[in-house]
Structure formats: C-alpha cells, structure tokens
A and B are shown apart, each in its own frame.
Chain A
Amino acid sequence: MDKKKIASTIQTLPKSLTGIQGLDEITGGGIPKGRPTLVCGSAGCGKTLFAMEFLVHGAMMYNEPGVFLAFEESEKDLAVNVVSLGYDLDKLVADKKMVLDHVHVERKEIEETGEYDLEGLFIRLNYAIDSIGAKRVVLDTIETLFSGLPNPLILRSELRRLFQWLKEKGVTAIVTGERGEGTLTRQGLEEYVSDCVIVLDHRVTEQSSTRRLRIVKYRGSTHGTNEYPFIIEETGFSVLPITSIGQEHTVSSERISSGIPRLDTMLGSKGYYRGSIVLVSGTAGVGKSSLSACFSDAACARGEKVLYFALEESPRQIKRNMRSIGIDLEQWEKKGLLVFHAKRPTFYGLESYLTAMHKAVNDFKPMVVVIDPLSSFIIGTNQFEAKSMIMRMVDFLKINNISVFMTHLTTGVNDYTGIDISSLIDTWLLLRDIELGGERNRGMYILKSRGMAHSNQIREFKLTDHGVELLDVYVGPEGVLTGSSRITKEAKEKAEQLLRNQEIENKQLALDRKRKAINAQIDFLKAEFEAEEIETLKNIELNKLRENLLLQDRVDMAINRKGDIIIKTSKLHKPKGNDAKTK
C-alpha cells in the first residue's frame, strides 16, 4: 500500500525547501514534504546545525513554524550555538515561530518497572506542534533515548510508531542520528525513516579536514548522488560546489588601472574591469607578488580600500620587499586604506579560512581583494575542495563587485593553475621565466582577458627600483630574446644596420662616380667628334674649292688655247680633268 502511494506521488512529490545553500539544488527542491528525513553522521559533522537551519529558514523564510526537540542540548545551549550565525532563537520562540524543547533523559533517574510506551513524547510533540501550527519538526538526536531508556524493544516499536505518526501529522521532519559502525546510524534508524537519508561526513585527509554530504536515498525523486563538500561558514551551512547566488550579479564596465601603464596598454589601453577576477600565475620568483603590490598601490592611490590576504609572507616582509622596487605600501596601511590579513590556511583549515575571509571582507568592505598566493590553499590532495572553496570565495566577492587579484604559484610550464579554476578567471596574466644566454629573465603575457581587446605580445617584465616595467622583447630569427641578450642582440643589430647603411651609401657613391665618368667620357667623345666633324667639313670645303679652282684654271686654259669644248658639269670634268692632269 505504501509503495502504491509513493508510486502515485512520484510525479508530484511535494518538497520542502531547506533554505540551505546548495542543498535545495541537489535535491531538486528540498527534502520530502510531510515526511521524515534522516540526517546522520558522526559527532561534530554538523547534524544539529543542518537541522536547525532547516527550522530557522522555515520559520523565517517560508512561513513554516517549527519544533525543535532536542535530546542532547538544552534550549539555552542551542540558542547560544547559533547566535554566531545571526539567528535569534529567543525571538523566534517569542514570536511563536519556533518551539525549542529539551527532552531530558537520564538513565540514572529512571527506573523501569514494567510495560510502558512513549505516549508522553507523542503528547508533548503534538502539543508543541499544535501550539504554533508547526510544519517542521526536528528530533535531535532521538537515539539518545536508547541510552536513556531501558528496553530497546519497546523503544523500537515506539519509534516506528512515532515516525508513522509524524507522517500522519503531515509535518516535514528531520531526524538526526549518530553514525554507527558499518551502519548509517547506531540504532538502525534508517529502517524506520526510509524516504530520504542524508549522510554528513567529516573526514581528515592529510591533516586538512573536509565536510561532505551525500544523499543516500531519496524515494520518489531524483537527486544528486555525489558526495558534495560542504562548509559551515558565517552564513551557515553551505553545500558546494553549487552556489545559490547564480550568475545574476551586476557587472561593471568601469576600468581600473593595473598600476603598470604598459600593462594597461596591453589590456585594451584601460586596465582591468572593476569587479573582475585577475589571476597571475607563474613559477617561483617571477614577480607575482610585485604585480599584486602594484595593483594594490594603484588602488590605494585611487582611494580604494584594499584587503590583502597574505598567505605565505608576513606583511612586514611584503612591505620591505616592495619598498625595494619603489612601492611604499606602508603609507596606505597608515592611512587605513590597506589592511593585511596574514594567516596560513593550514592554520585554520580551508573551511574556517573561508569563514575568516568572509568576516574580514564584511568588516573592512574593501573594493579590491588580493589573495597571494592561491596555491597555499592546496594542501595535499584537496584540490577539489580548494577549488570549491575558491569558487565560493570568488562568487562572494564578485557579487559584491569587489575586484580580486590572485596569484598562483605553478611548478611546471604547462601547469597553469594546478586547480582547474580557469573558468572563474576574467583576466589571466602569465609570468614566465625565460632562461637564455646564462641569465634568467621574466616574460609576461596575457593568457586571456575577457571582454577586451588585449595584446598578444610577450613582454619582458622588469623589476626596477622605481616599480615594474614592461619592455618589448626582441623577436627575430633567433627567437625571443630578453635581458642582456636582447640588449646585445639589439646592439648587434644596430651595428649591422649601420654597416648596411654605409654599404648602400658607398655603392651609391660609386655609381655616382661611374655615372660622372661616363658622362665625362661621353662629353669628351662628343667634343672629339665635333672637332673631327669640323675638320672634315673644312677639308671637304677646301677640296671643293680646290676643284673649282682647277676647273676654273682648266677653263681658263682652254680659253687660252682656244679649246672648243666647254665641259658643263664638273662631274664629267673631273675624270677628264684628272686625265688631263695626268696627261
């Protein structure tokens, strides 16, 4: 019968929102409405907080009052425990939105003398539910009854009856249970509460602790089956990696300087976007922290507040080191614009560090947050948790429109981040060692920069005593050269160019000379020719004259001899004349 009922409600299984960040997403809308859900886990894994959040959110956000039946802690303790999360239980109780009831069971004070049942508990719960019209109930931790009351047989049957009764009552209940050896709960509560079982886990690997949540079963509903890390932070319980904030934060198109003019030029001439996530990654000693300092310096100079999370170096050391490249961070610190937050994540554990970061950000309200370096979050093999954590952090900062500048220490050439967070990054600068000609130089380029036309050039990155400078690298047939090899190469190139220029000049001169020589020769020949021509013409003229004279003479002679023939043409006369001459 039960199964039939469930089958018919599969499509429309009503759910009750928990309001716990991330959980409602994995469960597709919360835990089953009107049914008990078992939340189990070992001591200190957050069961009580989970249950309490469910109730408080119900009372505050969903208008569903709730009853908290505590078997372990007193009302006072409960209220005190959640004050840090900003929940005022006393007020909720006074407003009749919540009932806190501490069920005190002490084995020593109880003598069993025969048949009994837990009707008292039923009446008590019923009264509490009815007094405020509760829709939600938490039983934390009901297993305590087993140590408090004798005769487990009676208890078991009574618990079965209790869960049935809760269902009939139509309240959404969370029952917590302590984790047992090889079973989900010490007393096998999972037998009775079978609609939804959530296991919380708190384990320590490589000295860092992580909390994880898994939905073991959820009848009649699909659900995420993974183990999801969760954290308990300032705002309470939060299941990762899903972040409830979504992607709807406002984005700014304002641009802010990186603190290095040439870098701004590379970034579409204007610098980063406000509220964007900038990552600088690179191997050791490439100047990541210097870039952070530049950015912080520029932000402070604009009058913006900067929160600097120094995860590895002490603030003093950072300030001293930055002084050496001409950046005075101390002045900003004195003015209250720059605050260092120096603690190693190993000191706290990831989760607490995130909490501490939240608190620091909320207290100081910075416009720029620097995290130097991000790689400190990775301890051992906790990459996944670290990623989730960073994601949450970044989301949190982004939603507040805080610009984030993170550095990341990489070990290999292709190991860009180690943790796969590239999708989170808006602008990614890569600093690289360039080893050449017996020296090491720093190269920088922009791996990506969303939403701007950015340079694709590798720049030489130089730390000088007046800050960070970016220089063009030498790109030529011998590859990319930096540092002194760039300088020598450039000098060499200059000399070569000079030489080439000279050669060209020389050639030009030679050509000119040749041209001149040829011209002179031409002139000379011309003159010679002209002279010859004149001479020849003169000769011709002379000959003609002479011939004419001869002819005249012959004519004269003929006249003298009273010759009869007068030759008319000179041509005919000529041979005759000649003949005559020879004759």
Chain B
Amino acid sequence: MTPNKNISETGLPKQKPDKKANDAWILRLYVAGQTPKSITAFKNLKAICEEQLKGKYQIEVIDLIKNPQLCREDQILAVPTLVRKLPAPVRKIIGDLSNTDRVLVGLDLKVLS
C-alpha cells in the first residue's frame, strides 16, 4: 500500500497513453455475499480506479450467491475475483486487491520492473 504512489505515478503516465487510453474500462468484481473480504476488495478496487482511471471506468459487482450460474459461465473459482472485461484481453485478478502493485500489474496498468 505504501509504495504504490511512487511507482504508480512513475509507471502510469508512460503506460496509459501508449495503450488503450480512450477505451472505457469495464471491471467486474465477483463476490460471494457481503463478506469482509468482498467489502475490502471493493474498497480497494474503488480506490485504485479513482486514482488510475478516473472517469472512464465502470464497476459491476456480481454476487455469485445470487447468480451461481455465472461461476461457470465466467470461469470463476476464487472469490473475490476481479475481471477486466474491457479493454481486451480479459484479465483475471483474485484476492482482496490489497496488493495494489499486483492489481496494477494484473490490470495491465503497469509492467513489472
């Protein structure tokens, strides 16, 4: 959490314009009920998005307990799972998104140095 500011600030501006800067970001967060983990994940996601993708992202939260068939359709195993639907390609990130660094890597917002 602590080093994310430095790295993200240095890493992001280079990456973002190069890639799909104009594309809208559609992110899906799959959770299983209102568990502490899912709440944490949502909070973390929100924070990252606000910081990195302000104004061009969209978060859908899907509760698998309510829509169990989606587990199969979207190949979800672990909870919480964040799926980057757009821009393509689809990326999957599991966990409560507390490791911002890894989230950014997972979302293709940053390359590992």
User: Which residues of A line the B interface, CB within 8 A?
Assistant: 101, 103-105, 109-121, 123-124, 126-128, 145, 149
Check B30 for interface membership: any CB of A closer than 8 A.
yes
Contacts of B32 in A (CB 8 A): 119-120, 123
* Number of chain B residues close to chain A: CB under 8 A: 36
Residue of B nearest to A109 (CB): B92
Contacts of A126 in B (CB 8 A): 68
Contacts of A103 in B (CB 8 A): 75, 77
In the assembled complex, B97 has its CB within 8 A of some CB on chain A: yes
Smallest beta-carbon distance A162→chain B, Å: 11
Chain B: which residue is nearest A105 at the CB level? Answer: B77
Do A127 and B37 touch across chains, with their CB atoms under 8 A apart? no
Determine whether B78 belongs to the interface, using a CB cutoff of 8 Å to chain A.
Answer: yes
B71, A111: Cβ atoms closer than 8 Å:
no
Which residues of B63-113 have CB atoms within 8 Å of chain A's CB atoms? 64-65, 68-69, 71-72, 75-82, 90-100, 102-103, 105-106
A128 to B70, CA, bound (A): 11
Give every chain A residue within 8 A of B77 (Cβ-Cβ): 103, 105, 118, 120-121, 124, 145, 149
Where chain B touches its partner, the secondary structure class is: mixed
7 closest Cβ pairs, A-B complex = A111-B106, A124-B71, A127-B68, A114-B95, A114-B98, A113-B95, A119-B79
Measured CB to CB, the residues of B under 8 A from A are 30, 32, 35, 37, 40-41, 44, 64-65, 68-69, 71-72, 75-82, 90-100, 102-103, 105-106
B75 surroundings in chain A (CB, below 8 A) = 103-104
Q: Chain B CB within 10 Å — which of A111, A112, A117 has the most?
A: A111
Which of A115, A124, A128, A149 has a CB less than 8 Å from the CB of B76? A124
Q: Inside 8 A of A116's CB, which chain B residues have their CB?
A: 37, 78-81, 94-96
Contact A113 B64 (CB under 8 A): no
Give min CB distance, A138 to chain B, whole Å: 16
Whether the pair A115, B37 counts as a contact (CB closer than 8 A) is yes
Give the docked Cα–Cα distance between A104 and B78 (Å): 12
Q: Provide the residues of chain B in CB contact with A145, threshold 8 Å.
A: 77
When distances are taken between beta carbons in the complex, the residues of chain B under 8 Å from A123 are: 32, 64-65, 68, 71, 79
- Per the bound structure, the CA–CA distance linking A48 and B90 in Å amounts to 30
> In the complex, what distance in Å separates the CA atom of A116 from the CA atom of B96?
6
Cα(A123)–Cα(B71), bound, Å: 7
* A118 adjacent to B95 (CB under 8 Å): no
Q: Closest chain A residue to B89 by CB distance?
A: A109
If A120-B79, A123-B32, A124-B77 touch, whether A114 touches B72 (CB-CB below 8 Å) is no
Given A120-B32, A124-B71, A113 contacting B98 (CB threshold 8 A):
yes
